[in-house]
Amino acid sequence: MNESLTIFTSITASYTYSSELRLSLEMLQQTFPHANWIMHTPDSTLSLKELVSLNLPPAGYILFIKEPAMLASKEMYPLLKKHLEQNPETQIALPNDPANARIILTPNYHTLRGFEQFSQQLTQYDNAPIGYDGRECWLFLISAQSLSNLNLPDDFFELPHQLPAEQTMIIPQAYTHPFYNYYRETRPDILPFVPEKIQSLLDIGCSRGGFAATVKKTIGCRVAGIEINRHEAEVAQATLDALWVGDVLSLDIHDRFDCISCLDVLEHMPEPEKLLSKIKQWLTPDGNILLNVPNVGFWAVVDDLLAGRWDYVPAGILCNTHLRFYTEHSLRQLLDSCGLTVTLIEKHCIPIPEQILTGFNSYQKSGLDVDYENLATNAFTVLAKCK
């Protein structure tokens, strides 16, 4: 019998301004096309608990999603539902996630097609369900009947913590990939590239200020940020020494900085030359530009293209708001044309899977040029100075 599915979730004010978050919501809605969606919005006069009470279905299943910034496999809901149907002692079923799936199978996907392939592979394993282990919960399934019998907390995502572990089960083969930390990145991977002994840093596209705050804590320098999303900027305000809110190209800043970081921003600009020109004006005479830029020549993208796929997603190399795409060659050309000298370029490499590597080897044997280093490079971190 086809049981109805009701989905309760909350969206923040950032969904109004972020095309990435809106795409994430749209993709999730496409995954559950027949579900009844009930969304708690920033302008709602009711709490989520009140919203649930007013819209609680008499039967069927309820999926609670903390925030719809995630990918969910098409197999996820059927697997969670099947477990609840076959195990009446279980009240709540949770999916697996990237951090914990590696116990079974190491995630090695970087595109939507890769996510789909990995999710399907995971279903082939017969690992038994796991009692709730305290991991962060951002999604769970419960039957309407079970929910009606529980004493509900104000925060529904506390339910897995309140129930006995044997009543809350994690289904290893059901898979999700969350993006809900999209604006919370602190970028520890980039910290080693910040020049030593700088007195000031400006982070363009600072979001909630996580990276700049980490630099301040580590180096002790003055930090500032620029952020176009005013809701995320409100969070950054508390941690930064200075903050400008708005379009970076329209801002008039008279301060100068020893280092200006531009992490995963350049590819979002329709005219990156204008941004680099602006950055040069804000640098001290011996200042550095710190860039991080994804590589469109990465093996996962090339493999997708060979299969006829190019799928935009909310984050990553094929983010839906990327307007420019770079390889090392085109990135160096851009910087040189803007009067910048590259002093360091770090290639962040991820090994090419054996099966895909075999295919590339065949291309090379047939006489085609194959740049293996470029194929293995996921992103570039670059330090540059004015010529």
Same domain membership, residue 205 and residue 269: yes
Do 173 and 225 fall into the same domain?
no
CA distance 140 to 174: 11
Residues 111, 279: Cα–Cα separation, whole Å: 31
Whether 161 and 213 share a structural domain: no
Mean pLDDT of 373-384: 98
Q: Do 33 and 135 share a structural domain?
A: yes
Is residue 382 one of the residues assigned to a domain? yes
* Confidence grade of residue 3 (pLDDT, cut at 50, 70, 90): confident
Band the pLDDT of 13: cuts 50, 70, 90.
Answer: confident
What range does the domain containing 150 cover? 5-178
The last residue of a domain, from among 146, 178, 210 = 178
Neighbouring CB atoms inside 10 A of 217's CB total 12
258 pLDDT exceeds 70? yes
Mean pLDDT of the chain: 94
Banded pLDDT at 151 (limits 50, 70, 90): confident
Q: What is the pLDDT of residues 93-105, one digit of tens each?
A: 999 999 899 889 9
Q: Are 301 and 377 in contact (CB under 8 A)?
A: no
CATH of the domain at 111: 3.90.550
Residue 175 has pLDDT above 60, yes or no: yes
Whole-number Å distance between alpha carbons of 93 and 110: 27
Task: Output the pTM of the full model.
Answer: 0.93
Among 150, 178, 206, residue at a domain's last position:
178
Burial class (CB in 10 A: 0-12, 13-18, 19+), 261: buried
Q: Which residues touch 219 (CB under 8 Å, ≥6 apart)? A: 194, 196, 198, 201
171 & 236 share domain: no
Same domain, 151 and 291: no
**Looking at the structure, do residues 206 and 233 belong to the same domain, yes or no?**
yes
Contact 252, 341 (CB under 8 A): no
| C-alpha count within 13 angstroms, C-beta hemisphere, residue 155 | 8
Instruction: With cut-offs at 50, 70 and 90, classify the pLDDT of residue 356.
Output: very high
Q: Given 148, 178, 208, which residue is the final one in a domain?
A: 178
Q: What is the CATH number of the domain that holds 266?
A: 3.40.50.150
Examine the pLDDT at 386 and tell me if it is beyond 90.
Answer: yes
**101-105, 322-326, 329-333, 344-348: which range is least confident on average?**
101-105
Q: Is the pLDDT of residue 218 over 60?
A: yes
Integer distance in angstroms from the first to the last C-alpha of the chain?
A: 70
Residues 363, 219 within the same domain: yes
For residues 199 and 317, state if they share a domain.
Answer: yes
- Strand 377-386 and strand 340-349: the pairing is antiparallel
Q: Which pLDDT value is given to residue 2? A: 64
